[in-house]
Chain A
Amino acid sequence: MISQLTGNERVLAAFTFLILLCVGVAMAAAGRDDLIGTHGWIIAVSAIAGAVALLRAYDAPAPSATRLSEYYDDPSKVGIILTLIWGVIGMLVGVWVAALLAWPELTIDAAWASFGRLRPVHTSGVIFGFGGNALIATSFHVLQRTTRARLPDQFSPWFVLFGYNLFCVLAASGYLMGITQSKEYAEPEWYADIWLVVVWVVYFSIYIRTLLRRKEPHIYVANWYYMAFILVVALLHIINNLAVPLSFGHAKSYSLFSGVQDAMTQWWYGHNAVAFFLTAGFLGMMYYYLPKRAGRPIYSYRTSIISFWGITFMYMWAGSHHLHYTALPHWVQSLGMAFSVVLLVPSWASAGNALLTLNGAWHKVRDDAVLRFMMLAAIFYGLATFEGSFMAIRAVNSLSHYTDWTIGHVHAGALGWVAMITYGSLYALTPWLWKRPALYSAKLVEWHFWLALSGTVVYVFAMWNSGVIQGLMWRTYNDSGTLSYSFVDSLVAMHPYYIARALGGLLFLAGAVIALYNIVMTIRSPVAVASESASDIPLGLEPSAPIAQAGE
């Protein structure tokens, strides 16, 4: 990859590694008595590893000018591999912590191995490691295809991809050591947060620079969603992570907000991390890969507009439904509930738009497990958003909140929607990028599909059962007017469902391992084809004929 950088970009890369090395060494020195010192060394070693790779190929000949007539897909390729690896890691930890809830004595007597430290490794591993890499990898691909323009340079995509993965490594290793802010899905400490802002600014600059150089007059729907993902996540991340660190040599910081204001800010962040990381970004994926794979244009362009702006506007009000019946003022709870219910309209408009796009291609859904992944994702998206609006109603929330029902809901979205659309898209994308005629094994995709579906169903049903039972047991009164069950009674009732949940997760994990194997074998298969690649180039050199985009 170094040989693809121009001379100037190699100098820029060298400077980047130098700065990173200085920061890492400074953190290691200032934090020699603190856990931040370990992270300083991780940063310094990453910088040295990058610099060594750079120097070994520094004198390679400059890339030829013909590169400008091709799309730049190597960062997407590496991103796909990283996505699959993070997926296996994150889901493996998930299955393990699920097992710990059923059999707590399985663990060893070490702080890093306890449930409380491993759980965020699971959540961050799947959300940021798996989901984030999938979004970066696919967004670079979709951006170039829908603008008919090459990425603006060769350095910044690598900076974003590797910088982002450095953030993920800092996050996961930090949890194991006990570095956490405790804010759910925003656990990494201040220095990792600042680093993510730097990465994110570069990510946005790639997007906007490519859009400004586009050869298509219109910006395609998928890019609206990817842009909303990038912009709003930046806004949420910066505001929710405002904090005062002890010093440059301490990992620990204290959040700027406290109590009720902090709770509202946190769930404004938390719910919209779901909305703009796990929904908007993946809708971008869906709006490109589903019509492409089905060979059909998006059913309704106008519905896309309404659902996009509906989601962008209304989700930001919905976070307070995480705080029903709490010390948050009632008016904020009511606003959150109202907007959460109305959110069903744009959510179902998106899901319906996707499913109606498949009209005329249902025979392909039957025969092609890759397309079936995407269809199932749209169905689960519809189910999970319905359930979400339902659970945001105060009366329902009084039962569901604090219980496993919430965990079931989240996994209906995470497994059924996010992971399914990701695997569908990556299965479609891999043969295109590596110019292979097909995946290594269609049969393994079928296996993965049925494992993923059965795993999701087992998981979600287990959590629905345990959540509803738990919620009901907590509020059941006996004839004498006192509470019927102690807390421990409700915990004992959960045991069979915790075992079922671990089993569901294991099925899903097995599918993720198959996906990694299948895609690696596809890449390693020697057959190369040149069928689609002739037209798969940026506009500019050849006479510009109007080319229909998916969806127009």
Chain B
Amino acid sequence: MFNFHYRLERNAIGFVLAIIVVASIGGFIEIAPLFTIDETVEKAPDMRVYTPLEVAGRNIYIREGCYACHSQMIRTLRDEVERYGPYSLAVESKYDHPMLWGSKRTGPDLARVGGKYSNDWMTAHLNNPRDVVPESNMPAYRWLLRNQLETGDLGEHLAALRAVGVPYSDEMIANAPNDAIGQANPDTDLAAGVTERYGDKTDVSLFDGNQGSVTEMDALVAYLQVLGHLTDAAHTTPQNEVE
């Protein structure tokens, strides 16, 4: 073995090839089957895609680095299930490009935060967390209420998501900017199109409390409120024993 190596380390190209082969094995065996084994991702026929406003909110969540302090992955541990709700299923992040499972909980898990707090609470909390949770060390995101949401290019966002596999229809892509405005303005003509395209359960609200303008706060709150509600799979399928 050492004699073989004695020859290998005299051959630069051979050494390069050896590194590539040896280093490729592990990743190939662990990653490739995840795309081919059917049980990896559960079936969830009721799963809906994110609305344009929620996509925009998700992008703000990414932009502000929320994932650095909040996970979106409830583990199969008893205390986590009791604290946050049913453990996360793979299917629930099927349309997440990229996933936001996170790696650190400086703040709590958010996988099922949707619906736990009112829109008013969410808006107040994001605007300055210490107004509602005095002990919090989360930053205040005051600019979210000040910034108007860029809705003009949401069609391109949906088209890019379709290119990577999310089933958006042509109609959804064409109406994306209007649907974003409609979802944040319930009593307007645009609002009806949102439930028509994304289902009756879609939350159409004054997320930031203001009619008319659509702010970045609207988008982020809409996204947070849908977390855990794209599918009921975690609630309807029996969960395995937790540890």
Q: Which A positions have Cβ atoms within 8 angstroms of B? A: 100-102, 104-105, 107, 109-111, 114-117, 119-120, 175, 178-184, 208, 211-212, 214, 217-219, 224, 227-228, 231-232, 235, 239, 243-247, 250, 252-266, 268, 302, 305, 309, 312-320, 322-329, 332, 335-336, 339, 398, 401-403, 406-407, 474-475, 477, 482-483, 487-488, 491-492, 498
- Name the B residues within 8 Å of A105 (CB-CB): 130
A272 to B59, CA, bound (A): 27
- Name the A residues within 8 Å of B108 (CB-CB): 487
A180 to B108, CA, bound (A): 22
Q: Mark B138-167, 1 if CB is under 8 A from A, else 0.
A: 111111000000000100110111011110
Q: Is the CB of B104 within 8 A of A266?
A: no
Q: Is the CB of A104 within 8 A of B93?
A: no
Q: Is the CB of B64 within 8 A of A114?
A: yes
Q: Is the CB of B23 within 8 A of A232?
A: yes
A514 to chain B minimum Cβ distance, whole angstroms, is: 30
Q: Is the CB of A305 within 8 A of B5?
A: yes
Q: Assuming A266-B98, A268-B27, A314-B26, is B64 touching A258 (CB within 8 A)?
A: no
- Name the B residues within 8 Å of A327 (CB-CB): 73, 87-90, 92-93
A102 to B136, CA, bound (A): 10
Q: Is the CB of A116 within 8 A of B88?
A: no
- Name the B residues within 8 Å of A329 (CB-CB): 34, 37, 39-40
B106 at the interface (CB under 8 A from A): yes
A535 to B237, CA, bound (A): 73
Q: Is the CB of A309 within 8 A of B160?
A: no
Number of interface residues of B (CB under 8 A): 90
B77 at the interface (CB under 8 A from A): yes
Interface locus among B7-15, B115-123, B185-193, B202-210: B7-15
CB-defined A-B contacts under 8 Å, sample of 24: A180-B65, A184-B103, A246-B160, A255-B164, A256-B97, A258-B96, A259-B41, A259-B90, A260-B93, A261-B35, A262-B96, A263-B99, A268-B31, A302-B2, A313-B26, A316-B26, A317-B26, A327-B92, A402-B103, A406-B103, A475-B77, A488-B133, A488-B135, A492-B135
A333 to B31, CA, bound (A): 12
Q: Is the CB of A488 within 8 A of B136?
A: yes
Q: Is the CB of A326 within 8 A of B73?
A: yes
- Name the A residues within 8 Å of B12 (CB-CB): 208, 211-212, 214, 219
Chain A residue nearest to B41 (CB atoms) is A260
- Name the B residues within 8 Å of A218 (CB-CB): 6, 9-10
Partner of A181, one of B76, B98, B101, B136: B98
A110 to B147, CA, bound (A): 12
Q: Is the CB of B22 within 8 A of A309?
A: yes
A263 to B97, CA, bound (A): 10
- Name the B residues within 8 Å of A316 (CB-CB): 23-27
Interface of A is mostly: helix
Which of A256, A318, A325 gathers the greatest number of chain B CB atoms within 10 Å? A325
Q: Is the CB of A403 within 8 A of B105?
A: yes
Q: Is the CB of A224 within 8 A of B93?
A: no
A326 to B105, CA, bound (A): 15
B83 at the interface (CB under 8 A from A): yes
Using A483-B79, A491-B136 as known contacts, list a sample of 8 further A-B pairs with CB atoms less than 8 Å apart, ordered by residue number in A. Answer: A114-B139, A224-B9, A258-B95, A259-B99, A265-B31, A266-B98, A327-B89, A487-B108
B223 at the interface (CB under 8 A from A): no
Partner of B65, one of A115, A320, A328: A115
Partner of A258, one of B94, B106, B135, B163: B94
Within 8 A of A (CB), among B193-231: none
Q: Is the CB of B23 within 8 A of A313?
A: yes
- Name the A residues within 8 Å of B82 (CB-CB): 482-483
Chain A residue nearest to B79 (CB atoms) is A475
Which of A182, A239, A252, A309 gathers the greatest number of chain B CB atoms within 10 Å? A182
Q: Is the CB of B10 within 8 A of A305?
A: no
Q: Closest 9 A-B residue pairs measured CB to CB?
A: A116-B65, A316-B26, A325-B75, A317-B26, A259-B93, A178-B63, A327-B90, A255-B98, A211-B12
- Name the A residues within 8 Å of B163 (CB-CB): 244, 254
Chain B residue nearest to A253 (CB atoms) is B160
A111 to B217, CA, bound (A): 13
- Name the A residues within 8 Å of B63 (CB-CB): 178-180
A336 to B31, CA, bound (A): 12
A9 to chain B minimum Cβ distance, whole angstroms, is: 24
Chain B residue nearest to A184 (CB atoms) is B103
A402 to B109, CA, bound (A): 10
B236 at the interface (CB under 8 A from A): no
- Name the A residues within 8 Å of B93 (CB-CB): 258-260, 263, 327
A313 to B108, CA, bound (A): 36
Which of A235, A239, A406 gathers the greatest number of chain B CB atoms within 10 Å? A235
Q: Is the CB of B104 within 8 A of A116?
A: no
B133 to chain A minimum Cβ distance, whole angstroms, is: 6
A314 to B22, CA, bound (A): 9
B146 to chain A minimum Cβ distance, whole angstroms, is: 10
Q: Is the CB of A235 within 8 A of B9?
A: no
B174 at the interface (CB under 8 A from A): no
Within 8 A of A (CB), among B62-87: 62-69, 71, 73, 75-77, 79-80, 82-83, 87
A498 to B137, CA, bound (A): 11
Q: Assuming A178-B63, A260-B34, A402-B103, is B137 touching A102 (CB within 8 A)?
A: yes
A129 to B160, CA, bound (A): 31
- Name the A residues within 8 Å of B107 (CB-CB): 487, 491
Q: Is the CB of B99 within 8 A of A117?
A: no
Q: Is the CB of B16 within 8 A of A313?
A: no
A255 to chain B minimum Cβ distance, whole angstroms, is: 4
Q: Is the CB of B160 within 8 A of A227?
A: no
Q: Is the CB of B62 within 8 A of A336?
A: no
A465 to B213, CA, bound (A): 47
Q: Is the CB of B161 within 8 A of A254?
A: yes
B141 to chain A minimum Cβ distance, whole angstroms, is: 7
B30 at the interface (CB under 8 A from A): yes
A260 to chain B minimum Cβ distance, whole angstroms, is: 4
Partner of B30, one of A219, A254, A268: A268
Chain B residue nearest to A323 (CB atoms) is B101
Which of B98, B108, B139, B243 gathers the greatest number of chain A CB atoms within 10 Å? B98
